[in-house]
Structure 1
Amino acid sequence: MLISFIISLEKNSFTIMSVLEKYLPRLAVAPLTALLQQNQVHLKIVDERKTRHGDYRKNPDGSHGITINANLNKYRFTITLVHEIAHLVAFQKYGRTIKPHGAEWKHTFQKLMLPFLRPDIFPNDLLPVLARHFKNPKASSDTDAMMSIALKSYDLETDKSYIFELPQQTLFVGPSGRKFQKGEKLRKRYQCVEISTGKVYLFQPNAQVTILKTQ
């Protein structure tokens, strides 16, 4: 994994802001810089990881580490960064025995995110979707299909498609790099067969996959 940039506690506000301007909406830069410094966060911006947008950990020296994927669009980057800061703040306030995405984290995430839910930071078409999501935020924005699709509209063009868009029997490569064939919908998710093993896996409708081109 290549690290694009590390924002450490030793860097001043101007340096941090000059980096974050590349990844965040302009008016979100200063308040998020303040949150990072206030909570003693070492922020790493890294190459894409297939299984997560970001993560939080407490370092052995007592400082806090947050890692965010560099390829996120600025709106998803903002949400992901606040999501991870909310873990830190919730653990500090309620103790480390709370569930990672339990009621305490949800309340903290809502409170931290509220100042950013305004039209000079997020586009008008995203705000109603975000308002609905933050009534009961989920562990991952990707499990909220409506929000995931709305945020994807601000991504750079890619060769990826959503599972729900594919015709049945389509062959595709999943996020893990394994090959599957799309099957029937089972309630909310799609049954897909792994080509190499014949095992059946369930995919969220908004899972992003690459269609496997056949000769």
Structure 2
Amino acid sequence: MSIKNLEKYLPENTLPHLKQWFGDHYIHIKITRGRKSKLGDYRKLPDKSHEITINSTLQPQLFFFVLTHELAHLIAFENFGGRISPHGMEWKNTFRMMLLESISVYSEDLKPIILQFSKSPKANFMASPDLVRYFQIEDYEDESSYIEDLKIGDQFIYRKQTYIIEELRKKNYLCSNINNGKKYIFKPLARVEKIS
């Protein structure tokens, strides 16, 4: 897929950045259906070309952010060699530099969040509560809440199962499944439906 074909998924003014980052690399870009397990993925192929997959369901700014994350893998491996840690310092520094280079692409309300994130880029998008809140706020109906917005003792539905919040453990929540009595740990930004 050529860079030009990506335009419909991207915010305005991203092509100059992508052309610079793509350079002479041969990159296969695959646009996938929405995956719950990941937003994007990078692999170096046996023929020395590169493959990046990205979910088609992402908002344009998030699509560009994820593409930048995956391209940072490619550039870090090319610059520092294949033995570096996938999300080690080389990748973090590369990703940070790319985010700062392209900060003008993001909307004014998102820029401060991207700048804060760039100070210490996380491997997993879900590890950045501000980014998760920013991009998911429109994706859910009003009855959906973050578990961190509920109180100890509140009941909620998650994947058609009913739970009760028992306690906060560090940053995570220990919850009991009312149907089977088993206990589960939930991350603070798990999306759940509160039972009133």
Please give the TM-score of this superposition, normalised by the length of structure 2. 0.85
Question: What is the aligned partner in structure 1 of residue 155 from structure 2?
Answer: 170
Q: Quick one: distance in 2 between partners of 1:42 and 1:195?
A: 46
Whole-angstrom CA distance in 2 between matches of 1:36 and 1:198: 51
Out of 73-82 and 163-172, give the one that drifted further: 163-172
Aligned residue for 2:134, secondary structure, equals: helix
Q: 1:179 and 2:165 equivalent?
A: no
Give the C-alpha shift of residue 197 in structure 1.
5.2
Aligned counterparts of 2:178 and 2:37: Cα–Cα separation in 1: 21
One-letter code aligned to 1:123 = S
Distance in 2 of aligned mates of 1:93 and 1:47:
31
Determine helix, strand or coil for the equivalent of 1:91: helix
Cα distance, 1:38–1:202 mapped onto 2, change above 3 Å: farther
- Whether the 8 Å contact between 1:129 and 1:147 is mirrored in structure 2 is yes
Query: What do the CA deviations read for 1:125-145 (whole angstroms, capped 9, x no partner)?
Result: 111111111000001121111
Secondary structure of the structure 1 residue equivalent to 2:14: helix
* Paired position in structure 1 for 2:110: 126
Are the equivalent residues in 2 in contact too, given 1:178–1:194 (CA < 8 A)? no
Q: Distance in 2 between matches of 1:197 and 1:39?
A: 52
Query: For 1:37 and 1:53, how far apart are their aligned partners in 2?
Result: 23
Q: Identify if the C-alpha distance between structure 1 residues 180 and 90 changes in structure 2 by more than 3 Å, giving closer, same or farther.
A: farther
Q: For the Cα contact (< 8 Å) 2:147–2:188, is it kept in 1?
A: yes
> Residue type of the partner of 2:155?
T
Distance in 1, Cα, partners of 2:82 & 2:162 = 39
What CA RMSD, in Å, does the superposition of the two structures yield over aligned residues?
2.5
| 2:83 maps to which of 92, 97, 106 | 97
Q: Which residue of 1 aligns with 2:173?
A: 190
Letter of the 1:172 partner, please give it.
I
- In 1, Cα distance between equivalents of 2:161 and 2:19: 41
Aligned residues of 2:164 and 2:178 also touching (Cα < 8 A): no
Number of aligned residues: 193
1:205 paired residue number: 188
